[in-house]
């Protein structure tokens, strides 16, 4: 392989994690011990929030009146696409049964979890799209109770557009809580909520660490790191579009990696040349994040051919993978590791982030090698069952007894023995282990 890095990342996303982990663990311990009181204390200290935690129906109704009709139409448009895509996903999941031996049936059922907690980021960006992605998908999956929380603005609470979106998507309860305290409130069942069976949604490193620590006690959508994005482009790609797609994702945060993989050195050099100028045109805070991400985490990689480009993409397993190259069907068939795939310059990661339909809660930090993004499947459990006639259980019981004794598990063997003795009292069986 002939791969050249015209730009290499100077940092990784792992720095400072020990300090974050210790801080989050301490907060979770306090909230679990002191309950609502501790969560309220952190809300006052960290979010400067002194109002009610639970959002009332009257507040939601007032928020709906305050949101401009055009914005509501855009939110409904995105919600409809995301809902219909989730419904299509659910249609691919089915119960089944199989008669493995005459008279012995096994099967599976698809059951949604009872309670979900959806974290919706606020802070510098108010992620309306994240509310749509997490709450809508839970409701389509059939989750009975969906709680949603988001950081409140001091003195006013969750912004009106966010409240409208959460209610439209089906949230049963909405909490004016952000950060670790919001995650903990849903996990521990504070403020009258049922304890969440699963916690979902993106957030900052403290939110991600809280979910990581709680995993096992509750389910989570995935272990999340900083968002990342890769563009794979050949010589026919538009350098300006490629550059903007990289910049658009870099503005997520100072540690959000973006990568360009190409077989055209001239394209790579053109992109490297224009990116700083594009970043400079962004609003100040956006530009600061994008500039840091580009300087410290971005990479530009030149390959010899498309097979090398595809191999690099699979090795990085990016959260977002955007192909701007010839023969899109080849890329769709060839690529194996990505959170979500964007084919052609006619689409872009921002479409997927906001309104296209597929979920934007996706695996980061290379996790796309082994998992996909949030979907109705994450809110559901595939459980199995079995039943049998007495005659149908005979061959299964015999095999079970002998295998159990071979493994040294005599108690297991005798649960088979006792059934054979009861169901077939006049018959004898050789149930010793075969060495």
Q: Active-site residue numbers? A: 319-320
Pair type for strands 320-324 and 340-343: parallel
Helix (H, G, I), strand (E, B) or coil at 153: strand
DSSP 187-219: HHT-TTPPPPSEEE----HHHHHHHHHHBTTBE
Helix (H, G, I), strand (E, B) or coil at 184: helix
Q: Which residue has the tokens 């005979």?
A: 394
Helix (H, G, I), strand (E, B) or coil at 386: strand
Edge-to-edge strand list for the sheet holding 173-176? 173-176, 145-150, 115-119, 198-200, 219-220
CA atoms of 80 and 144, how far apart (whole Å): 20
CA atoms of 98 and 101, how far apart (whole Å): 9
User: 159-182 burial, b for 16+ CB within 10 Å, e for fewer?
Assistant: bbbbbbbbbbbbbbbbbbbbbbbb
- DSSP designation for 367: G
* DSSP H or E run through 109: strand 104-112
């Amino acid at each position: 392989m002939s791969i050249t890095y015209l730009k290499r990342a100077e940092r990784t996303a792992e720095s400072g994690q020990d300090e974050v982990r210790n801080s989050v663990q301490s907060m979770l311990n306090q909230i679990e011990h002191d309950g609502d009181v501790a969560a309220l204390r952190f809300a006052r200290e960290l979010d400067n929030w002194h109002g009610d935690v639970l959002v009332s129906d009257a507040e939601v109704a007032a928020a709906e009146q305050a949101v401009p009709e055009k914005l509501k139409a855009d939110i409904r448009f995105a919600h409809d696409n995301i809902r219909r895509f989730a419904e299509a996903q659910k249609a691919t999941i089915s119960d089944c049964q199989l008669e493995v031996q005459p008279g012995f049936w096994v099967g599976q059922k698809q059951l949604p979890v009872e309670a979900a907690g959806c974290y919706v980021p606020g802070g510098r960006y108010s992620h309306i799209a994240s509310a749509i992605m997490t709450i809508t998908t839970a409701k389509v999956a059939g989750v009975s109770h969906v709680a949603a929380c988001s950081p409140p603005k001091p003195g006013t609470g969750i912004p009106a557009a966010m409240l409208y979106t959460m209610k439209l998507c089906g949230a049963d309860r909405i909490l004016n809580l952000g950060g670790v305290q919001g995650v903990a409130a849903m996990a521990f069942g504070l403020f009258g909520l049922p304890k969440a069976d699963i916690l979902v949604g993106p957030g900052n490193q403290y939110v991600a660490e809280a979910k990581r620590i709680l995993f096992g006690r509750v389910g989570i959508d995935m272990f999340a790191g900083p968002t990342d994005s890769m563009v794979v482009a050949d010589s026919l790609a538009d350098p300006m579009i490629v550059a903007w797609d990289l910049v658009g994702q870099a503005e997520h945060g100072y540690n959000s990696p973006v990568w360009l993989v190409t077989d055209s050195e001239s394209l790579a050099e053109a992109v490297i040349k224009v990116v700083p100028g594009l970043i400079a045109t962004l609003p100040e805070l956006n530009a600061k994040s994008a500039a840091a991400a580009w300087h410290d985490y971005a990479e530009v990689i030149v390959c010899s051919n498309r097979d090398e480009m595809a191999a690099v993409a699979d090795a990085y397993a990016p959260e977002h993978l955007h192909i701007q190259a010839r023969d899109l069907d080849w890329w769709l068939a060839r690529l194996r590791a990505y959170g979500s795939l964007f084919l052609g310059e006619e689409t872009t990661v921002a479409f997927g982030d906001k309104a296209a339909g597929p979920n934007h809660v996706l695996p980061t930090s290379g996790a796309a090698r082994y998992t996909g993004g949030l979907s109705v499947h994450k809110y559901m459990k595939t459980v199995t069952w079995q039943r049998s006639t007495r005659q149908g259980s005979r061959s299964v019981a015999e095999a079970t007894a002998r295998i159990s004794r071979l493994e040294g598990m005599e108690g297991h063997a005798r649960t088979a023995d006792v059934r054979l003795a009861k169901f077939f009292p006049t018959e004898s069986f050789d149930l010793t282990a075969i060495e």
